[in-house]
Amino acid sequence: MKYYDFVDKQPAIGKLVIVEGTERELAERALGAILDRLLPPEVRELNLERFGPDDVGDSSRVREAVTAMPFLADRRVVVVADAQTLKAQPRRDLWAVAQAVPDGNTLVILDLLPARSKRPEPFGPMAGRSATRIDTTASPEARARFVRETLERLGATAEPRVVDELARSEADLAAVRNDLEKLGLAGKKIALADLEREALSIEDPKAYKYASALVEGKTAEALSIAHECFANDPRGAAMPLLSALATECQALWEMARDGGELPARMRWRERMLRPLAKRVGERRARVAFERAVRGMESIVTGKIGSDPDDHQTLVERISVEVSGISRAAR
């Protein structure tokens, strides 16, 4: 079923859940919805175990986690993320585990592959009706709903043409969310002209140079650019800087995955990012992306406050954290 059908209809969740399709943003939201339904916060820590692709080389670890008894809860949940990056034998081993999940527990596999993928063959069609399947592929209608929900969460509004343009675009939904967070920050109604200005360039040139320098390990250069941005615009510098960093780290994360592919608008960056991604690795790139996004969210939600000094301190702290990830890969 499509992601929004799962959200709206709330079907029963059995022993095996396959989250498929290609929209990572919807996949993460689907996982959040699954965990909210199956594991109340007070028992989640004791009954949830997560595995990344680097952790699944020995399938016995996943098997042990899946077969363990729940602790003070109705069930135990095991999540395997980014299964689409696994090589052939680990995928076969994981599939064997998926077919033997005991009653009362749930295995969730995020296998974000196009529906017609042949290599590897997606788990969803293999599972058929034996699994709860959540398809994150987004139709224009689903994209429009995503845009409206994001605007509502931000307390922002947009011209109908903005919603229509984003519904018909080919940008991934994580990029759409980032753009809306930047455009909605000012609190005004987002016009089509605002969106067009955002789409004409990947980021503000200085913010982009900051992000590129930081990811490449040029920390002093990146911080110097950030300081210049805050000197010129104390109240408005943080969001473009963190947004540019999130965009760069998201691209790096994609390049670090087996078979990763950049969206058309960023493919010119592949020559530089691919060797860098190989050194940094998928886990570190993901952590860097998540730290940049959390920084943006703390500004959008008001958690960090409105003091420009606090915003600058936030950017500097995240910059140092991300630079540490880059240095650790050398």
The C-alpha atoms of residue 239 and residue 296 are separated, in whole angstroms, by 6
pLDDT digits (tens, 9 = 90+) for 159-195: 999 999 899 887 788 878 878 887 887 667 898 888 8
What single DSSP character describes residue 110? E
**Same domain membership, residue 252 and residue 153:** no
Q: Can you give the CATH number for the domain in which 53 is found?
A: 3.40.50.300
Closest CA to 62 of 100, 32, 88: 100
**Same domain membership, residue 97 and residue 29:** yes
**Same domain membership, residue 82 and residue 174:** no
The C-alpha atoms of residue 44 and residue 106 are separated, in whole angstroms, by 13
Name which residue leads in pLDDT, 298 or 17.
17
**Same domain membership, residue 243 and residue 222:** yes
- Number of domains the chain is built from: 3
On the question of pLDDT at 119 being above 90, the answer is: no
**Same domain membership, residue 116 and residue 230:** no
* Final residue of a structural domain among 107, 135, 163: 135
User: Which pTM value belongs to this model?
Assistant: 0.65
On the question of pLDDT at 204 being above 50, the answer is: yes
**Same domain membership, residue 181 and residue 95:** no
**Same domain membership, residue 76 and residue 44:** yes
**Same domain membership, residue 250 and residue 171:** no
Structural domain boundaries enclosing 186:
140-200
**Same domain membership, residue 268 and residue 289:** yes
**Same domain membership, residue 109 and residue 162:** no
Name which residue leads in pLDDT, 179 or 48.
48
On the question of pLDDT at 304 being above 90, the answer is: no
**Same domain membership, residue 228 and residue 193:** no
Distance of CA 236 to the CA centre of its chain: 25
**Same domain membership, residue 215 and residue 175:** no
On the question of pLDDT at 200 being above 60, the answer is: no
